[in-house]
Copies of this chain bind each other. A is one copy, B any other.
């Protein structure tokens, strides 16, 4: 059994990790920390876990994290970078669900996240945990930077055409829509029910932290600088991301074949038949990314639709997928459940 610890378990990625790990056949949950809720039964805060998770939150300083095989950080940005060095030194693997290790260029990271990085040398070592690109490196990694939710949906949608060099990388548009849980479980006015329900709005149009992360990933694949416009929107649903991607074709390819071939061996990327429209609910609670391709009026604009559950493939599920790869167990263990529809 893999001994697992979770740092920061009171947010949505924390409870989602617990939902998935509680039924993972190869996992033994050892500790979950929370500074503010130390002593509280986890299942008292999240009653869906009653009967499945028996742990109490522990204070971070009391948690025996170094006895774990792997520790997940489900914390705000800037926490994992303080504690990772010591855990790695103790032989514990680390998967960070926040952004501390996602961006290779330290100056860029410090600009977008507004703090000084505590361990730049670990950023260099960290593997970006998108298994569909980095599976081999993840297998050997001590430290995995779990991708952001938008970056997962957007990169998986763009990659196949960038890889075959069939589109203009200078003019990529990602119009992305997220459920409100993507904003986390923080008491903030703009994500109150009465503000976010029956409403739709864009935010961060002039700049969003996921823009440099997506750009870095696309540039690695394209092998050159890309021009990316990224527009996030807040949608009145709890879970789900829908990315609508626009690219200009530069040569003729069989779109459907390109995507089907690229993702043929991938258990968590599902390319729909040509002309389909994936809905976010088809992946609600599941680790699948569903993709469909369109080329309106056979013109040179390709429209790719890519959906994920932001808390699963966009966070906790992908983190478990990475853990499975790191520990050599079945990649789908604990995350092969079906989407909840309706």
Contact = CB atoms under 8 A, between A and B. Distances in A.
Contacts of A282: 47-48, 50
Contact of A236 (B23, B197, B248, B342): B197
A235 interface: yes
A171 interface: yes
Nearest to A275: B206
This chain: how many copies in the complex? Answer: 4
Given A173-B246, A207-B296, A296-B207, A49 B338 contact: yes
A242 to B, nearest CB: 5
Interface stretch (A114-122, A135-143, A179-187): A179-187
Contacts of A275: 206
B238 A237 contact: no
A66 interface: no
Contact of A199 (B52, B195, B237): B237
Which 9 interchain pairs have the tightest Cβ spacing?
A48-B339, A201-B279, A47-B282, A193-B196, A48-B341, A175-B175, A199-B281, A180-B193, A205-B294
18 contacts: A47-B339, A48-B282, A186-B189, A187-B188, A191-B192, A193-B195, A193-B196, A198-B281, A200-B235, A200-B279, A200-B280, A201-B279, A202-B242, A202-B244, A203-B277, A205-B305, A206-B296, A207-B296
Given A51-B270, A185-B194, A229-B301, 11 more contacts: A49-B338, A171-B171, A171-B301, A173-B301, A179-B200, A187-B188, A192-B192, A193-B193, A199-B237, A202-B242, A227-B301
Interface of A: 12, 15, 19, 22-23, 46-52, 171, 173, 175, 177, 179-181, 183, 185-189, 191-203, 205-207, 227, 229-231, 233, 235-240, 242, 244, 246, 248, 267, 270, 272, 275, 277-286, 288, 290, 294-297, 299, 301, 303, 305, 307, 311, 336-342
